[in-house]
Structure 1
């Protein structure tokens, strides 16, 4: 019974199976190589004659056994079942006869692959029904599994046998059975030739996969699933393959894939709601990367290329102009798509915008590739970032909802103006380890600490000094001695209290800024404590863990400290808050009349006075600084040297140990710098300190639920009225008593991990409110009057009461 193949593409359009020459008499030469006859034969045949008939003529003339010879034309072996026309043999062609096949290094493999190809030709010419004695895939499995001394010889044998051509011919057969057999066989071939080669030799199999791509593209078209799979496999090889004039693979071989994929991306950006597929984006990236490397490496001009290359002699001028057009086209389409996404986000539709954004996740990878291309051309980076800025809302939404830990987003840091706080915070937080969300107090992976409140800093330091880093990353179990409370609430309180202790100026580790006492930077005099550097390492761990747990500790780093952690150079403007007197003095030095400075009106030399362990000493800012007077020409150098010694060199060890402690929690020193580089100083302020705004009572009320009470009860109405009348500090104390959170996240109450709860208790109305901070629970009885409630709340909103509680 014949199969219904109406859904299959017709093989008549295949250039592989179509006759290549009209049927006519031919005269051609057969060059004998590697045989005992060093000669050539002149043969005559019809173009419809088979290769077998040519072999028969050679047998008569030379007497060489058929098992000892193979015919090749154009570098490909000719098989018995093919006609001269199918092989493209034209008049006066030269065929090569290779003899003594049994003397090759791998005669069995050679014989097997020839059998495979011959069997495929038979399958292509048979008409159903017929029995297939063996699977093509199984024959190839045997071929690829043969032990070979050199895998590259194996690959050459496979290609020279015309196996790729035969397999694609089988794939284009009108018979579903043949197509299925070819599909499986080609997939197996691609997997096998990669598996038999070590990673550094993967480029050896590129020519075969490239040949499959070319054959399938011509026969089946670019939308064929097998072609797309082969193209993706080829793209994956580009990372290990050298491309260029001196390499086996040239730009001209792979640039057609760049144009083809660029055209598909362009179409899909406007045709499909969610745009192109991640596979197409990845393939485009794979092919365009080696092209750009080769082009940038070959151009004699430095820096980005100019748009008009008329006066620039170069072999890749056409490719450059093509990339120019591709970039402009894809950038305009991307901008349109981001606009479409932004319209949906800003619309009044009840559509789930989070789900909508997830559908656009792969756009970040697409933008990364466009950003890479933009670096080739002069002025294109600016065009790219302007396009993203114009759709900043959609871009930031994509970053927050779609950026994943496994991807590299360093390209975004090149232009942080396209991001907002939420996007930058999300990118930074991805670098921190994931906290174990298990609230079970018996979790064995957590690091346990039992802290005496009266010796909080020293005991916390000792616990973490001897802690295993992995256990710190897994989570912290905190309990204060002689208290029963445990859980997240106690953890939040510990972070807050230990941070306040670390940055307390009395402990000499950090200095508070003159202009803003909330801001701190390392104290050069901290060396009075022999273990001060260990304390800086401890501080780095505490801050990293607080950020990991998303806990605001009420501390702000001065810009000086932040810039050093980000690896940036400190300038005069960076010291404005830390030392306003020195800042003003340096400004005056730089702004003074040059003639006055040159008349030694300042009386300064390149030295700096420092106080160390109660004594003052002079430090040279450069070699023999005391003998170098400050003048109009070197005053800027003097100011810069002064700043570096005063705020960088003097605390270099402290900053280094803090950074190492921070990096220990992150697990990577490189990530530590990236963390601070992707943020602005104000971002870290909000992440560590929380919101500067007054606590909004309406927002507080909106995120509170009731158990035992109803929202309409008098006690609830009185409660919110009393809270609304509290001072800002009283509200902070009440919030801390209730949740152990004194500073809200920037987003307000919606940024908290859970809802807040008010519980009704059956206790006497003489009892004060109590809290269970682990569950953000405030409990109180049904007080009879608002005055009684006000009295009870006024007691717990006193600093010494509200910031010390016994339930977790």
Structure 2
């Protein structure tokens, strides 16, 4: 073959001649089987690319027009010389960034098309080219959606393959998922017109909607149905083998199902009725979804609002896992952590000054608490006690900030008359910070919120049923009004108008619930409105400033208002109870024993046998007191002892037998002397359990 020279009126004659040299070299290499390096020619072609976008586009097009890609693919197939990878990789360095991002994709697409016909889908060069194309798609506007259909088909098939059963733990690879996401994102951006993003598309109406390309929409919907059917099979397999899967340490590719589901949910929102079908398919596979969330949902750029907005498809563990990703993680920066020295008699005031005066970001570093006038000790044990004591003080009704619910004295809601404390609003902001910090540091404080207070934090309307725990008398009265015979109500036997009497610091004040409310009688038609306005005034309007300041304190810690709203809205009321208060179950001695280890004692020693027999005979309150003395944990996590951050330990003490046991609460270590008899040990332990030696931080 003679070396070709391109002359005449062709644009970019140097480029055409250079390509001619490349084609000649390839021909010689194929025929003569001699290796001639053409890398320098490929590099030179790239460096000669014009700097302006318009000329660069037509210049790069000459590479495809000349048939160079076909020649390079033929060379690769015959001799496996990988000049294509070199050409694509070099382009990133040799071309200006705008030109590479916007204009080089058609060349890569050409290589993908040619290789797809010439080699298998598992060929390394083909996979490289396809991945390169996917990474460029969302930066270029000169690739048609139809051109990428074959590659999306391939990747969809890859993602649909595999099994999650105990017999064959194989799932989609991260590489395939990332590729698929790149292609799918490009597809959805091209398919959905920005003007019509809020429009659901019925399948039968594609051709009646001029702003859509119905072929593209039809393809995307078909792809959605195929992937959804395959994912349904995979999730059903997971449900069938969920216990086995939970015990397996290897991922088995399951970590990619959650991102795939997110993409499918996004697609489902484009089509009329598709989202409802999406959730219908997931509902029987709730346990699989929860497992995926708990095991694979990670904090970062990934957003999980699509799951959080469907609480019926999650359980407590998965909801807690997701909302905790909305709050900051405690750092390990002990040097810059927030340090407090607190005098117990002034615990509330000194804690208020320290926490409210601190930079919120420093509070997410390790907190260091020292109680003054005591043997200095720091660590998790002291921190747990401080959280419990400061929350008890904040929510103590005697401090006028919060009121306890009459039906459950652990539940609290803001006191409408809290202004008796001149600093009440600052203290509510402080309370919001403390509760957020307790959640961030995973501390159980033994305090829970009234339902109406929780709903306000979540931005949810408060109804009559929601005030039942906070004001059972008002609830009962309102219920009676609603249930009375309409004829009796219309006879004005109640003598009610749209007014409400408020007690303000011992004096009475009448509030009109509507303009001229004193002139409007309550009747059978408007009684529902009357009840709603009473609830609005008592549990929303009258405490709006307090709730607002509490929210701002919470936002100080979690970072922004959106995170705060999503945090509360994504939880059930009972979920927050369990996160703040821990388990309400009685302490299980068997669970306690199973999570305890021994130091200088053996499990078979008499003292250990006596200890567990004594604990087994204790009352519920005695066990709580002993546990608190041992660990400074008063409220176990909902998971029981396995939810603690450390295993408990019983250590043989060198103290004489006339001494009480001691503890290192930071390390969950109980030190017990080698008592000579069970009676002596019982007498010593009962002193701790009955006289509450563990009520303060003790060692």
Note whether the superposition's TM-score is higher than 0.5: yes
| 1:340 partnered with 2:232 | no
Distance 1:258 1:639, change over 3 A: farther
Structure 1 residue corresponding to 2:326, chosen from 420, 431, 442 = 431
Using the TM superposition, name which of 450-459 and 266-275 deviates more: 266-275
Distance 1:122 1:688, change over 3 A: same
Distance 1:672 1:193, change over 3 A: farther
Alignment RMSD, CA only? 3.2
Spell out the pairing of 1:176-575 with structure 2 (5 A cutoff).
Answer: 179-189=81-91, 195-196=97-98, 202-203=101-102, 206-220=105-119, 222-239=121-138, 250-268=144-162, 273-289=169-185, 291-292=187-188, 297=193, 304-306=200-202, 308-309=204-205, 316-347=213-244, 353-357=247-251, 359-406=253-300, 407-437=302-332, 443-483=334-374, 484-575=376-467
Aligned partners of 2:19 and 2:66 also within 8 Å: no
Using the TM superposition, name which of 310-319 and 487-496 deviates more: 310-319
Which one has a larger percent helix, Structure 1 or Structure 2?
Answer: 2
Q: Tell me how far apart the structure 1 counterparts of residues 419 and 105 of structure 2 sit (CA, whole Å).
A: 61
Aligned partners of 1:538 and 1:661 also within 8 Å: yes
Q: Tell me how far apart the structure 1 counterparts of residues 489 and 22 of structure 2 sit (CA, whole Å).
A: 92
Distance 1:607 1:203, change over 3 A: farther
Distance 1:133 1:555, change over 3 A: closer
Structure 1 residue corresponding to 2:507, chosen from 607, 615, 622 = 615
Q: Tell me how far apart the structure 2 counterparts of residues 595 and 637 of structure 1 sit (CA, whole Å).
A: 18
Unaligned runs of 5+ in 1: 1-47, 56-65, 71-97, 99-109, 243-247
SS at match of 1:757: strand
Report the TM-score, using the length of structure 2 for normalisation: 0.90
Distance 1:782 1:370, change over 3 A: same
Show CA shifts across 1:772-800 (max 9, x none).
Answer: 10111111212222222222112112355
SS at match of 2:461: coil
Show CA shifts across 1:485-515 (max 9, x none).
Answer: 2211111111111111111111111111122
Aligned partners of 2:25 and 2:38 also within 8 Å: no
Which residue of the partner structure matches residue 143 of structure 1?
48
Using the TM superposition, name which of 616-625 and 248-257 deviates more: 248-257
**How far is the alpha carbon of 1:698 from its aligned partner?**
1.1
Distance 1:503 1:270, change over 3 A: closer
Distance 1:337 1:133, change over 3 A: closer
Which residue of the partner structure matches residue 26 of structure 2?
124
Aligned partners of 2:171 and 2:252 also within 8 Å: no
**How far is the alpha carbon of 1:211 from its aligned partner?**
4.4
Which residue of the partner structure matches residue 95 of structure 1?
none
Using the TM superposition, name which of 490-499 and 601-610 deviates more: 601-610
Aligned partners of 2:502 and 2:510 also within 8 Å: yes
Larger Rg computed on CA atoms: 1
Structure 2 residue corresponding to 1:658, chosen from 550, 553, 558 = 550
Aligned partners of 2:164 and 2:237 also within 8 Å: no
4+ aligned runs moved over 6 Å, structure 1: 48-51, 175-178, 269-272, 298-302
SS at match of 1:611: strand
Q: Tell me how far apart the structure 2 counterparts of residues 792 and 557 of structure 1 sit (CA, whole Å).
A: 38
Q: Tell me how far apart the structure 2 counterparts of residues 481 and 176 of structure 1 sit (CA, whole Å).
A: 82
Q: Tell me how far apart the structure 1 counterparts of residues 178 and 70 of structure 2 sit (CA, whole Å).
A: 25
Name the count of aligned residue pairs: 691
SS at match of 1:431: coil
Show CA shifts across 1:657-676 (max 9, x none).
Answer: 22222222222332222222
Q: Tell me how far apart the structure 1 counterparts of residues 99 and 417 of structure 2 sit (CA, whole Å).
A: 60
Aligned partners of 1:331 and 1:370 also within 8 Å: yes
SS at match of 1:361: helix
Structure 2 residue corresponding to 1:166, chosen from 68, 75, 89 = 68
Q: Tell me how far apart the structure 2 counterparts of residues 226 and 773 of structure 1 sit (CA, whole Å).
A: 59
**How far is the alpha carbon of 1:417 from its aligned partner?**
1.8
SS at match of 1:490: helix
Using the TM superposition, name which of 276-285 and 467-476 deviates more: 276-285
Using the TM superposition, name which of 633-642 and 765-774 deviates more: 633-642
Q: Tell me how far apart the structure 2 counterparts of residues 604 and 727 of structure 1 sit (CA, whole Å).
A: 52
**How far is the alpha carbon of 1:722 from its aligned partner?**
1.5
SS at match of 1:377: coil
Distance 1:111 1:660, change over 3 A: farther
**How far is the alpha carbon of 1:283 from its aligned partner?**
3.3
Aligned partners of 1:357 and 1:398 also within 8 Å: no
Unaligned runs of 5+ in 2: none
Which residue of the partner structure matches residue 725 of structure 1?
617
Which residue of the partner structure matches residue 790 of structure 1?
682
Q: Tell me how far apart the structure 2 counterparts of residues 165 and 632 of structure 1 sit (CA, whole Å).
A: 85
**How far is the alpha carbon of 1:587 from its aligned partner?**
2.7
SS at match of 1:173: helix
**How far is the alpha carbon of 1:156 from its aligned partner?**
3.4
Q: Tell me how far apart the structure 1 counterparts of residues 128 and 39 of structure 2 sit (CA, whole Å).
A: 26
**How far is the alpha carbon of 1:747 from its aligned partner?**
0.6
**How far is the alpha carbon of 1:752 from its aligned partner?**
0.6
